[in-house]
Structure 1
């Protein structure tokens, strides 16, 4: 590793260090890295890693490229590490009660098994008159606690059935009948930690619903569509782009190119919408291009009060794909609609009528009128539409704990092989660090405080050195909440005669950009990097630099908090030349398996859910690797 000498200068004062912790806290909180700088570098890190959408030389060439990309996303993202038994065969389906509406359609209650032990409730809106092959629509929903019983979703399914269309209305995880923390979307991270794609649970919940719909004896396989609002729009683009059984796609206010979401944080979404490594392979604009030449109508709302405001989406998500449809001779099949009535986050009348219009345009329907058939008096209460799920219906944490029973796997035989495996999991990059002094050192009591902005290839980070006179040792101090919030402990260490060097790794303390910690972690991981790997590499680089500057043989690292503690252990495990003398951690459990249990939240410690870490490395293995190098 190449290092640039960091100009931290210790100024000798007199004998015993004395300072007021409050005064030191004031000194440590002097800004070194501004919020604007932090936000800018976080955005740049992500944006420069988003792949560009490139048009092929011909429509035929694009179809070949599209199929290769489709398989890459499925195997390297959606189904990475997924047990074969989750994917194989047709789903089990239980058909239950039937509601005879006497309005030209019936509602059949059913539940299907998305993967072993996970049952999804659903409703099939079936026309009373079944004849030959009929069109079918998979209706999914987003973040609406009413789930499948939402009024606007019922009206849509009723209208489709009255138009001679089979309409399957599926429940979504944590909505409707599947409400509750057991189905929290971010809990997919528990599977990620075990090396099993948590995204697969969402995908299978959709694709198994499609299995049910396409195996109906009256379904016309050439006329199968999918639609949904918000998270339902996200489901629509994911499944439609990767499963060509969907012939017509109508996502509503559900997704955008990652470039849009980097600029508009209200559009970032949950973890399933930014899954690990997805955008390393394909941004959402690529997924949109995968629809070519199948008919697709993208609906967005001008003044959306949730996410994906139409004017911010069209230039980066729709317009780049228009040439693909033109090249395929299907320009009329690709449409964009901006809703202004009401213009907020909705799948209300205007947007529903756009759905009917678009289906009528591309299919031969019994009712070709795009106007909605009045059906408000047919809306039912959620209780009437309840299907029921088994009491022992599985969830993310149960699935993760089942996988974790066999983890961690046996490690490779040699120390170098183990290090290389850990580097692969962390997406490790050796980092070069340089520093810029921020003004002259200042005195606080009998201590000298030096402030420095350190830089690696991607990040600028705040750093300080707190030095007493006649110090007898040096230590590195890092903390989840940042060094500025630990003045008491830093003062105590200085009072013990220790020179304290401290910095905030990325996403910690003053190096955390404005906004949600977990969303920044998601964005970093979806473009192929690992926040934990970046932090660990920064810690090792900073320790190496300090040793070089101080002419010391090894530095003790004191970490405060589970995030910094895990990063320090990873740095120590990959320290091949004893730059780190020892690591002292705090607030770490005995095992990473603790993060699979109820009460642990992804959004509090997103780095600890690094994809595949527990598959080979639990905390005892990491500690043993670090100690073995000493």
Structure 2
């Protein structure tokens, strides 16, 4: 009896406290500190919610008591959604508080949205009409309609280094007055006739295009008989001489990267030695998203191979991938539909089991196969899925790319294989990072008219609202 009375007493105190909070709430918002609401959720539903003090500091929940529902997931969503926050479920009963991720959907939501997009077309003609709607809107969304005037300047090219079967020279192209895109050109030795080109943007990995695996990939492509141009994303790599790392995570980064890709295509397409019928693009992670976008925008790209990038439920975790309103084009689109705009050009999707490409074979790839079948070339889109691998551009992902390039660009696979028929990357020379710089070890060769700082870059895009 005493135990019952004690429980009743505690319950009454809780009720009185809640009533008191409501009575004292003069603005009728029934506010409670977020930290108190989270503690109440944990107590009421017997779960754990991990969070740090800065995440909850000075945050309040309006109509707090009214947000509770019969189940914990709906309650958490009701509480956090107005604050632009969410949780990740780490395991049953354990949650971790996170900022709202506009670029990440639930898998089923992404699939359902892609299915709704697919109802807009049913054959090649209706799909071509859809593409004709989306494509010009991509340029508009990126503030590239019309394209900015091209600077009348020559490329800056460093001395050529000669290695086993290939050469490397660094190139900077001025894409806007005082703004350069920097890269390294890997080129085959002793070639005859015109040479295929593979644009090789580098993703969000440490050491950017200076990483060994990036150098290996580009050198192997060159040794097989194609040029590979490895280039930096905006405010990444050598671009950080002009802009801060933080500038990369601003919406305008996507615009500058897309313009850089267009200027690179302009430059190489004008070279007599370039085989313009064999121009491809392949990047991983954020550079994979860039590869999808560039292929959708520019028909000069004849082959694409986005690696660990494409997903119907992940729009890219960086504003350089989704900061500009490209996904609102055509009344709404996603990265898989943008990837479909490559059809009927050959396309390789490389996916793995530990990121947003984990479910590629289940839904997104079959969608692309259907799109390619509109052109009668279902086999032109391929998926190499590596379920036991992680988010990188490792050896098996590179092998998938090598095989695809040899098959579609008729490259010389025997030049990079050993006697047993396996790829041999040991003949590639890994250069020191500073050897790949265009503007010197300390940026001392950066031209005097270089735009310095993001605020000055924004002046070149007066309609930009990016901050």
Of 191, 194, 214 in structure 2, the residue corresponding to residue 133 of structure 1 is: 194
Aligned equivalents of 1:22 and 1:58: distance in 2? 54
2:326 matches 1:278: yes
Where structure 2 has 5 or more consecutive residues not aligned to the other structure, the ranges are 1-18, 25-30, 38-59, 68-74, 85-104, 440-445
Aligned equivalents of 2:428 and 2:195: distance in 1? 26
Give 3-state SS (helix, strand or coil) of 2:434's partner: coil
Q: Look up the match of 2:208.
A: 147
Aligned equivalents of 1:224 and 1:402: distance in 2? 30
Q: How does 1:218-297 map to 2 (within 5 A)?
A: 218-257=273-312, 260-261=313-314, 268-281=316-329, 282-297=333-348
Q: Look up the match of 1:563.
A: none
Q: Look up the match of 1:176.
A: 237
Q: How does 1:88-487 map to 2 (within 5 A)?
A: 88-89=149-150, 92-179=153-240, 182-185=244-247, 188-189=250-251, 199-257=254-312, 260-261=313-314, 268-281=316-329, 282-303=333-354, 307-311=355-359, 313-340=360-387, 343-367=389-413, 371-375=422-426, 378-388=429-439, 389-390=446-447, 392-401=450-459
Q: Summarize the Cα distance change of 1:287–1:403 in structure 2 as closer, same or farther, 3 Å threshold.
A: closer
Aligned equivalents of 2:221 and 2:234: distance in 1? 24
Let me know the Cα RMSD of the aligned residues: 3.6
Q: Summarize the Cα distance change of 1:612–1:387 in structure 2 as closer, same or farther, 3 Å threshold.
A: closer
The one-character-per-residue Cα deviations of 1:176-215 (angstroms, maximum 9, x if unpaired) are: 22237625355534x6xxxxxx632121122212222322
Which structure has more RCO (C-alpha within 8 Å, separation ≥ 6)? Answer: 1
Give 3-state SS (helix, strand or coil) of 1:119's partner: strand
Q: Look up the match of 1:66.
A: 131
Q: Look up the match of 1:79.
A: 143
Q: How does 1:589-604 map to 2 (within 5 A)?
A: none
Give 3-state SS (helix, strand or coil) of 1:184's partner: helix
Task: Work out whether residues 310 and 357 of structure 2, in 8 Å CA contact, stay in contact via their aligned partners in 1.
Answer: no
TM-score (norm 1): 0.53
TM-score (norm 2): 0.69
The one-character-per-residue Cα deviations of 1:146-184 (angstroms, maximum 9, x if unpaired) are: 122111110011111111101111122232222376253
Give 3-state SS (helix, strand or coil) of 1:87's partner: coil
Give 3-state SS (helix, strand or coil) of 2:283's partner: strand
Aligned equivalents of 1:187 and 1:155: distance in 2? 28
Task: Work out whether residues 185 and 270 of structure 1, in 8 Å CA contact, stay in contact via their aligned partners in 2.
Answer: no
Aligned equivalents of 1:117 and 1:316: distance in 2? 44
Aligned equivalents of 1:308 and 1:179: distance in 2? 28
Give 3-state SS (helix, strand or coil) of 2:413's partner: coil
Where structure 1 has 5 or more consecutive residues not aligned to the other structure, the ranges are 1-8, 15-20, 192-197, 262-266, 408-610, 615-630
Task: Work out whether residues 147 and 177 of structure 1, in 8 Å CA contact, stay in contact via their aligned partners in 2.
Answer: no
Say how many residue pairs are matched. 370
Q: Look up the match of 2:77.
A: 36
Aligned equivalents of 1:310 and 1:49: distance in 2? 18
Give 3-state SS (helix, strand or coil) of 2:159's partner: strand
Give 3-state SS (helix, strand or coil) of 1:224's partner: strand
- Segment of structure 1 superposing worse, 384-393 or 285-294: 384-393
The one-character-per-residue Cα deviations of 1:5-34 (angstroms, maximum 9, x if unpaired) are: xxxx999x99xxxxxx999x9797654434
Aligned equivalents of 1:402 and 1:158: distance in 2? 36
Give 3-state SS (helix, strand or coil) of 2:412's partner: coil
Q: Summarize the Cα distance change of 1:332–1:40 in structure 2 as closer, same or farther, 3 Å threshold.
A: farther
Aligned equivalents of 1:302 and 1:49: distance in 2? 22
| Cα deviation, residue 297, structure 1 | 0.5
Task: Work out whether residues 78 and 200 of structure 1, in 8 Å CA contact, stay in contact via their aligned partners in 2.
Answer: yes
